[in-house]
Amino acid sequence: MSTISQVLFHTRGEFLRRMIAIALPITLQSIMFSSRGLVDVLMLGQLGEAEIAAVGVAARATFVTTIMLVGVTTGGALLTAQYWGAADRQGVKESTALTWQVSMIFAVFTVAIFVLFPSEIMALTTESQEVNQLGSQYLVITAVTMFAVACVASMSVGLRSMHKPGISTFFSGIGIVSNIFLNWVLIFGKLGFPAMGIKGAAIATVLSGAIEVATLFGYIYAKNHLLAFGAKDLKAVIQWKRVVRFLKLSLPTTFNFLAWAGGLFAYHAIMGQSGVQGLAALSVMSPVESIALALLIGMSNAAAVLVGNQIGAKNYEAVYYQAIGMTILSLIVGIVVALILYLCQGLVLDAFSALTDETRALAEKFMVILCFGIILRSIPMMVIVGVLRAGGDVKFCLYQDLIAQWLIGIPLAAFAAIGLGWEPEWVFLLFLTEEVIKWGGSLYRMKTQRWMKNLIEN
């Protein structure tokens, strides 16, 4: 059979239905996660550009640590997916318990950093004292939400491995609805509460995170779900061999995620050199980009679950052709999403009413570049997240990201912005350089098939 015939044979029917069933809830959850930042930006955007810039920078800082915590849980995601594929239910439960323990330890450190050094973090991207003060206030209050992130992320990886992502998505919905309501009450001073502005947005974020955790874990334990681990399970997984195996998978990915997210923060700092207008325009792009990429994120995470299941079941030939099929599908979806965003860009930017005419014009240029970037990101996102990393090839993903982003992308953008004084839109275009590098490296690595690693064999 030809390669095309093999791809069609292994991806049609049941496989495609399972992928869609897993991808859609994850997509919705990604949109909800991104909407938290978007809701803050939209509501605070009615107050002024300083508030938009402040919450944009602060949200990017919390995004960096959130990505780090998600990276920590990736080790658990890889293991639980393969345990489920091998029909080892106890392995799924204990792996989820270990994921929760490790992620909570990492959360302690992130909370401490935000509480102790908020002003220093803000100063990395802006020289505006007003933006620094507003953002620092936001960071200190929202720091504790990192515990909520750790709890939800660790439970989500277990649910996804079992092809039940809809459960965590439902409770994410509860979190975002409560966030919108509490934002309305606390930012603008409704129902007898004082108008607190950016401080109100921060408090709303904390309370909605607590509500999401309480309802999700309440459901899991009330239903006596497989993932309802207890003290016995937490104690059972504290074995040196298991912890080392977990960390060997998690630490490279955690550092990978941290370096990648830190790179996004560096891009913010580079754009900050162009002034508040460039920073405000980029702050508008960040949540819009996250929502636009949600379907691609959902697909790549669904692919990761299915790849892990297949490797756990030792179906190596099938998983290779499925990887090719999912990559092609990701590119097609990326093109469609980019076209929709391009056609709707006016409606999207109209939502940010506080933007000045100059900033609005700059944001329109950014939007066109963003549409191109979505297409460009569709291939690396699927291959790296859904195939290579899911197959256990975590070190290659780390090295490729470090080279593409920190050795090529960031220095090039920094030189253009600071050394050459390029306009913000051209600097923003250079942010996509790393994606071009990843296209070649990721596709070549996938073709070699050296990424298929069975992680649960003794």
- pLDDT of 199-214, one tens digit each? 898 899 899 999 999 9
pLDDT at 392: 85
Q: Which pLDDT tens digit goes with each residue over 272-306?
A: 777 777 777 887 787 788 778 888 888 998 898 88
Q: Which pLDDT tens digit goes with each residue over 13-29?
A: 788 888 888 888 888 87
Whether pLDDT at 12 is above 70: yes
pLDDT at 213: 95
Whether pLDDT at 458 is above 60: no
Q: Which pLDDT tens digit goes with each residue over 167-193?
A: 988 998 899 899 889 989 998 899 989
Q: What is the DSSP string of 257-320?
A: HHHHHHHHHHHHHHHHTT-HHHHHHHHHHHHHHHHHTHHHHHHHHHHHHHHHHHHHTT-HHHHH
Residues 393, 445: Cα–Cα separation, whole Å: 10
Do 166 and 180 form a contact (C-beta atoms < 8 A)? Answer: no
CA 143, distance to chain mean position in Å, is 18
Buried b (16+ CB within 10 A) or exposed e, 252-289: bbbbbbbbbbbbbbbbbbbbbbbebbbbbbbbbbbbbb
pLDDT at 204: 92
pLDDT at 288: 81
Whether pLDDT at 112 is above 70: yes
Rg (CA), the chain: 21
Do 85 and 309 form a contact (C-beta atoms < 8 A)? Answer: yes
Q: H or E stretch including 371?
A: helix 357-381
Whether pLDDT at 324 is above 60: yes
Mean per-residue pLDDT, 378-394: 91
Query: What percent of the chain shows pLDDT beyond 70?
Result: 96
Tokens of 81: 């997916």
Residues 70, 254: Cα–Cα separation, whole Å: 8
Task: Give residue 34's pLDDT band: very low, low, confident or very high (50, 70, 90).
Answer: low
Do 261 and 63 form a contact (C-beta atoms < 8 A)? Answer: yes
Q: Which pLDDT tens digit goes with each residue over 141-154?
A: 989 999 999 999 89
Tokens of 352: 């940010």
Mean per-residue pLDDT, 324-349: 91
pTM of the model: 0.77
Which is more confidently placed, 236 or 36? Answer: 236
Angle, alpha carbons 244-245-249 (nearest 5°): 110
Residues 220, 303: Cα–Cα separation, whole Å: 25
pLDDT at 236: 79
pLDDT at 37: 65
Please report, for residues 4, 314, 341, 386, 397, the alpha-carbon distance to residue 334 in angstroms, rounded to integers and kept in the order given.
21, 30, 11, 15, 21
Do 209 and 149 form a contact (C-beta atoms < 8 A)? Answer: yes
CA 127, distance to chain mean position in Å, is 27
CA 363, distance to chain mean position in Å, is 23
